[in-house]
Structure 1
Amino acid sequence: MKIVLVSAGLSVPSSTRLLGDRLAAAAAPAATAPEPAPADVQVIELRDLAVEIAHTFTNGFPGRALADAFDAVAGADGLIVVTPVFSASYSGLFKSFFDALSVTDPDALAGKPVLTAATGGTARHSLVLDHALRPLFSYLKAVVVPTGVYAASEDWGAEGLNGRIERAAGELAALMAGLSTSRPLPRRDSFEEVVPFEERLAALRPTG
């Protein structure tokens, strides 16, 4: 199992990256339970790719580092995406990365479990999860985890954040495990014989 964390934090250290790391730390062991080894986690820092993301829109193709990031996202069993809130929505860098990815590989996220998360200065921006992030990844044909995680400045160290992290991580792990263990459709000859309705009805009628 492989989890890719995409962080759009700009500062160092970054509360956006911190939230992403906590989500990944909770999801990695759950994704492979009851196996002892946790899922592999790869981190993509978008601030390191900003120049290549911009060049992609002018050159028409990604640079080497950005192409590697696209490959990692496409090959992941599950994604954790975290963005700071700018002007009541995701950051431009965050959106540009996924815009460039969708141009390069329109089906990169199709059917892929995605846990969405965001950070901001006030709890009033928590609706960004449902009003911006969920529609974006639904459009990209991803399977969005039911619980998103928003962390305002006052949430750090406060009661409640840990519970939301654990719940969202558990949902991501469950989706990853469910998709990886999906059973194939049964063989045609394994179905029960189909009996026409008229014959079933006739069998119920009294005789004599």
Structure 2
Amino acid sequence: MTRLITLSSGLRQPSSTRLLADRLEAAVRAALEAEGKAVDATMLELRPLGRDIMDAMLTGFPSERLEAAFADLGSANALIAVTPAFNASFSGLFKSFFDVLPEETLADMPVLIGATGGTERHSLVLEHALRPMFSYLHAIVSPRGVYAATDDFGTASAGSALGTRIDAAATDFARLVSGCGPRTVRSADDEELTTMQRLLGG
């Protein structure tokens, strides 16, 4: 069973970010099922957790709801992460969630990145902001992300082009998830213990 978490940090309802997240999830599920894998997919919306995330940043203590989100994410085999783009970077809500996420939660986890924005000018947010952040968190980032501008949700031809990009990214991501195999969940405490044992052994 592949546990797939899709994280959307859209700030409005309805949200183009959530729309892209839904389409990516559906395409990834179809690609994994085509490989004979069962998929348990869960959507994680950050908007309802906004206050919890801010409180955790200010106090250092996550709420029960935020702890539950952390646990769900930590037990997943794969993650789709989608954010709106602001000023050529990810949203503050999106970044704040990963700022309070326990260390090593995403270690060795395959991640498909996606972003939405008003124009194509923000498309480099995938390579200049999202990919470096997830690499820093020791995730395994899929080589093909998806950016969708407002126009991509407009005309039929634009929607078809977006659909082609989504399908291609989903196919690549399914291969990555399959290639990575079972994931061993790590924690910051495990890393510190390993480091201490290495030092004592030396």
Q: Secondary structure at the match of 2:143?
A: coil
Give the Cα separation in 1 of the matches to 2:38 and 2:166: 17
Give the Cα separation in 1 of the matches to 2:87 and 2:173: 28
* TM score, norm. by length of structure 1: 0.82
Q: Secondary structure at the match of 2:34?
A: coil
Q: 1:181 to 1:3 in 2, by over 3 A?
A: closer
Give the Cα separation in 2 of the matches to 1:80 and 1:74: 13
Matches within 5 A, 1:144-155: 144-155=141-152
Q: 1:46 to 1:98 in 2, by over 3 A?
A: same
Give the Cα separation in 1 of the matches to 2:6 and 2:16: 14
CA contact (8 A) 1:29 1:38 kept: no
Can you give the 5+ residue segments of structure 2 that lack an aligned partner in the other structure?
184-202
Q: Provide the residue aligned with 1:190 in structure 2.
A: none
Q: Provide the residue aligned with 1:176 in structure 2.
A: 177
Identity among equivalent positions (%) equals: 51
Deviation at 1:34, TM superposition (A): 3.5
Q: Provide the residue aligned with 1:195 in structure 2.
A: none
Q: Provide the residue aligned with 2:71 in structure 1.
A: 71
Can you give the 5+ residue segments of structure 1 that lack an aligned partner in the other structure?
183-208
Matches within 5 A, 1:38-53: 38-53=38-53
Q: Provide the residue aligned with 1:136 in structure 2.
A: 133
Give runs of ≥4 in structure 1 deviating > 3 Å: none
CA contact (8 A) 2:77 2:182 kept: no
Give the Cα separation in 2 of the matches to 1:148 and 1:34: 21
TM-superposition CA deviations, 1:115-171 (whole Å, max 9, x none): 000000000110000011111101111100100100001112413211110111112
Matches within 5 A, 1:32-181: 32-35=33-36, 38-101=38-101, 105-156=102-153, 157=156, 158=158, 159-180=160-181
How big is the alpha-carbon RMSD for the aligned residues of Structure 1 and Structure 2?
1.5
Give the Cα separation in 2 of the matches to 1:181 and 1:128: 30
Q: Secondary structure at the match of 2:12?
A: coil
TM-superposition CA deviations, 1:12-45 (whole Å, max 9, x none): 111000000000001012224332x741111111
Give the Cα separation in 2 of the matches to 1:34 and 1:15: 29
Give the Cα separation in 2 of the matches to 1:96 and 1:26: 27
* TM score, norm. by length of structure 2: 0.84
